[in-house]
């Protein structure tokens, strides 16, 4: 049975449309599936679900950044595109092949030939045309351009060997030549276009590994020969104005690059390892990093508490959470709201991540004794209205931050605690006098980042009994306004799961968003701070305030179709 007969059997096509499709396919030499998609008779997802059912082969969902560079090398881009086949995963000599048309005898014959030629065994999975096109971008973006750059670099390295000049001068010229410049540019551009937040370039015994961090997770993107290691690191050092010949100690720097008509900053940190220098690049893309509260995920009563605190003429607002939870992005969002012509905003950061017009931003340099504590003393002489301090790290900084809030300044900063309840006891542990907190701490908030479902392809499902009971239990403990909002949905509960489409690169996810909890200073909390500032007592007061905690905020986002329950459960474990 072919796909047309199967679609008729499933009442997806009628006889008349089926006949037209068959006629056009025969006259054009195209596959029936291609004719169906080109004429938009059946959408891609429905068509390939039917194909999957007919072939008894599930559709393979794959994040293109997870496909290893070594797998791409086993099949040429030309062969992949012609036969609509693409490598998906490699385990030793076992290669998983994605095929758009698994019944195509020509493609199957070519695959047998390629497997004998490259000495691998293969399994076949069904992929959609959207997934296939996303994989082809991996070929163009990394494999093709990198291969050409490597070939050009090889030629340049041979020339350099023939020239008997001073080694350092020859090496400097080499890393500024077009091939190595192109190689670094390809790595950087692919990371930005793919939505990565970080790039890691790491030496090993066998090769130079390049990994991108997507939505919180690191993925190996390609492997380069170790012979290009020194040149790649040196090129990045030149861009960042770092010392090329200093490889024994870490160095920090930054550079900017125009990608897709927008200026993107990169924060660079080198680190000496036993196998050579590693470099990590943080991508500081203004389009991705500078957001509004809605894009952050801050909403409802949590947002109201933050906005009330921001309107106060003085006080301290603290954002807490682990490294990589988006604290700095939240601070920048608040600063953009506060950034008016009639206020003087001064920041002290380590390092400055996003440059904001109208703000006076300063970077600490501990190596010359310009740390947060020293910088705060200087900031107070700049007649600031609003102060942002990157992080409260020690007792001295905590004392100065409290003093700044006490003397008529609005102060924003970050702290490391697991949740909002831990902010008060943490400050007390750092030596802040309890009687100072009620008059200075305006609001404390904790946050985590979760992956957002792709709005174009998310799929509505009924939760299992255990998940439904969990959601109901969480919402029954939520504040009255949140309960009222979701009560009508709890009887016939629907949630969403990832599916995968062209827009999200078949991953099912598109970006990240925060879940939050915010506690405000009240008379009741002030009494607790003065008498028994333990985390348990603060948590009791937060519940009395009607605080929406991170678990409740997360479940609300699950019910709104923003994310999955699995994402929330994972984050909830981390926040305990």
Q: For all residues of the chain together, what is the average pLDDT?
A: 86
Parallel, antiparallel or unpaired: strands 345-349 and 386-389: parallel
Q: Does 263 or 555 have the greater pLDDT score? A: 555
For 3-129, CATH number out of 1.10.40.50, 1.10.3720.10, 3.90.1170.50, 3.30.300.160 equals: 3.30.300.160
pLDDT at 15 (0 to 100): 87
- Residue extents of the structural domains in the chain: 3-129, 165-283, 290-574
3-state secondary structure 286-344: HHHHCCCHHHHCCCHHHHHHHHHHHCCCCEEEEEECCCCCCHHHHHHHHHHHHCCCCCC
Count the Cβ atoms, other than its own, within 10 Å of residue 544.
Answer: 11
Q: What is the pLDDT confidence band of residue 76, given thresholds at 50, 70 and 90?
A: confident
Contact 387, 404 (CB under 8 A): yes
Contact predicate 377/363, CB 8 Å = no
pLDDT tens for each residue of 468-489:
999 999 998 889 888 888 888 7
Whether 100 and 84 have beta carbons less than 8 Å apart is answered as: yes
Rounded-to-integer distance, Cα 78 and Cα 55, Å: 26
Q: What share of the chain is helix, strand, coil (3-state, %, to 5)?
A: 50, 25, 30
Q: Which helix (H) or strand (E) holds 507?
A: none
Measured between alpha carbons, how far is 11 from 24 in angstroms, rounded to an integer? 21
Please check the confidence at residue 274 and state whether its pLDDT lies above 70: yes
Which pLDDT belongs to residue 26?
A: 87
| Spatial separation of the C-alpha atoms in residues 21 and 6, rounded to whole Å | 13
Tokens 């992956």 identify what position?
451
Q: What's residue 554's pLDDT?
A: 94
Percent of the chain exceeding pLDDT 90 equals 38
Q: What backbone phi and psi angles, to 5 degrees, belong to 372?
A: -60, -40
Q: Tell me, what's the pLDDT at 526? A: 92
CATH fold for the domain made of 290-574: Rossmann fold (3.40.50)
State the virtual CA torsion across 98, 101, 103, 106 in degrees, nearest 10. -90
Could you give the C-alpha distances from 279 to 120, 159, 236, 468, in angstroms and in order? 34, 27, 8, 45
Give the mean model confidence (pLDDT) for residues 280-305: 85
Query: Which pLDDT score, from 0 to 100, does residue 142 have?
Result: 53
Tell me the HSE value of 554 on the side-chain side, using a 13 A CA sphere: 25
Cβ–Cβ < 8 Å for 31, 25 = yes
The tens digit of pLDDT for each residue in 374-432 reads: 888 888 888 999 999 989 988 999 999 999 999 889 999 999 998 999 999 999 999 99
Predicted confidence at residue 165, as pLDDT, reads 47
Strands (E), 114-273: 121-126, 198-203, 207-214, 217-225, 252-259, 262-273
**Strand, helix or coil for residue 514:** strand
CA distances from 517 to 301, 445, 447, 520, 548 (A): 9, 6, 7, 10, 6
E strand or H helix that includes residue 564:
none
Q: Give domain 165-283's CATH number out of 3.90.180.10, 1.10.1060.10, 3.30.450.90, 3.40.720.10.
A: 3.30.450.90
Closest CA to 316 of 418, 448, 430, 481: 430
| pLDDT beyond 50 at 163 | no
pLDDT at 354: 80
Which residue, among 197, 207, 201, has the nearest Cα to 233 in the 3D structure? 201
pLDDT tens for 107-158 read 898 898 888 888 889 999 999 998 888 888 766 655 555 555 556 555 655 5
Instruction: Report in angstroms the alpha-carbon separations of 325 from 250, 319, 322, 451, 456.
Output: 25, 10, 6, 12, 26
What pLDDT score does 514 carry? 93
Structure tokens at 163: 């020239």
Check whether 506 has a pLDDT greater than 90: no
Write down the pTM of the prediction: 0.68
Q: How far apart are CA 19 and CA 31, in angstroms?
A: 14
In the structure encoding, which two tokens stand for residue 502, read together?
């062209």
Give all strands (DSSP E) within 486-565, no chain letters. Answer: 495-497, 509-520
Instruction: Kindly report which listed range (250-254, 258-262, 472-476, 533-537) carries the lowest average pLDDT score.
Output: 258-262
What residues contact residue 164 under an 8 Å CB cut-off, 6+ apart?
A: none
Determine the 3-state secondary structure of 451 from DSSP: strand
Give one DSSP letter per residue of 55-113, joined into a string: HT-PBPP--GGGS-HHHHHTS-HHHHHHHTEEEEEEETTEEEEEES-TT-HHHHHHHHH
Indicate whether 322 pLDDT > 50: yes
253, 281 contact by CB (below 8 A): no
In the numeric block, the tokens 């329950």 are attached to 565
Q: Which two tokens stand for residue 524?
A: 């009741």
């Amino acid at each position: 049975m072919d796909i047309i007969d199967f679609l008729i059997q499933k009442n997806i096509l009628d006889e008349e449309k089926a006949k037209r499709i068959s006629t056009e396919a025969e006259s054009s030499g195209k596959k029936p599936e291609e004719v169906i998609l080109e004429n938009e008779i059946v959408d891609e997802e429905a068509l390939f679900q039917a194909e999957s059912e007919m072939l008894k082969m599930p559709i393979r969902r794959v994040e293109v950044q997870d496909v290893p560079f070594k797998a791409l090398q086993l099949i040429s881009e030309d062969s992949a595109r012609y036969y609509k086949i693409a490598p998906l995963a490699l385990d030793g000599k076992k290669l998983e092949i994605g095929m758009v048309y698994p019944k195509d005898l020509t493609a199957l014959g070519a695959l047998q030939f390629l497997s004998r030629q490259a000495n691998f065994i293969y399994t076949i999975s069904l992929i959609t045309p959207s997934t296939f096109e996303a994989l082809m971008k991996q070929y163009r973006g990394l494999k093709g351009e990198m291969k050409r750059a490597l070939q050009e670099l090889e030629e340049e390295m041979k020339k350099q060997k023939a020239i008997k000049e001073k080694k350092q001068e020859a090496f400097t010229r080499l890393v500024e030549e077009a091939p190595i410049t192109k190689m670094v540019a390809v790595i950087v551009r692919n990371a930005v276009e793919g939505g990565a937040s970080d790039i890691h370039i790491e030496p090993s015994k066998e090769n130079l590994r390049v990994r991108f961090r997507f939505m919180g997770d690191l993925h190996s993107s390609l492997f380069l020969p170790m012979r290009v290691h020194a040149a790649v690191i040196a090129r990045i050092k030149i861009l960042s104005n770092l010392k090329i010949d200093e490889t024994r100690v870490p160095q920090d720097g930054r550079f900017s690059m125009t990608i897709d008509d927008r200026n993107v900053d990169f924060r660079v940190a080198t680190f000496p390892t036993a196998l050579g220098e590693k470099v990590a690049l943080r991508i500081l893309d203004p389009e991705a990093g500078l957001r509004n509260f809605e894009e952050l995920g801050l909403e409802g009563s949590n947002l109201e508490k933050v906005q009330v605190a921001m309107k106060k003429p003085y006080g301290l607002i603290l954002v807490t959470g682990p490294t990589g939870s988006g604290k700095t992005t939240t601070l920048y969002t608040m600063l953009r709201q506060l950034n008016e012509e009639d206020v003087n905003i001064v920041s002290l950061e380590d390092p400055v991540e996003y440059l904001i017009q109208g703000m006076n931003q300063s970077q600490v340099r501990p190596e010359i004794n310009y740390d947060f504590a020293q910088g705060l003393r200087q900031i107070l002489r700049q007649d600031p209205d609003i102060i942002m301090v990157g992080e409260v790290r020690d007792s001295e900084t905590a004392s100065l931050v409290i003093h700044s809030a006490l003397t008529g300044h609005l102060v924003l900063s970050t702290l490391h605690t697991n949740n909002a309840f831990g902010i008060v006891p943490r400050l007390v542990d750092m030596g802040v006098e309890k009687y100072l907190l009620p008059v200075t701490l305006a609001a404390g908030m904790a946050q985590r980042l979760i992956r957002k479902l792709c709005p174009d392809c998310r799929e509505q499902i009924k939760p299992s009994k255990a998940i439904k009971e969990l959601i109901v239990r969480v919402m029954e403990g939520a504040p009255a306004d949140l309960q009222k909002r979701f009560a009508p949905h709890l009887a016939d509960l629907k949630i969403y799961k990832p599916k995968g489409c062209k827009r999200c690169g078949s991953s099912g996810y598109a970006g990240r968003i925060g879940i939050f909890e915010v506690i405000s200073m009240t008379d009741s909390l002030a009494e607790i701070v003065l008498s028994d500032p333990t985390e348990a007592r603060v948590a009791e007061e937060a519940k009395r305030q009607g605080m929406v905690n991170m678990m409740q905020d997360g479940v609300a986002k699950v019910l709104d179709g923003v994310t999955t329950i699995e994402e929330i459960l994972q984050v909830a474990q981390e926040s305990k």
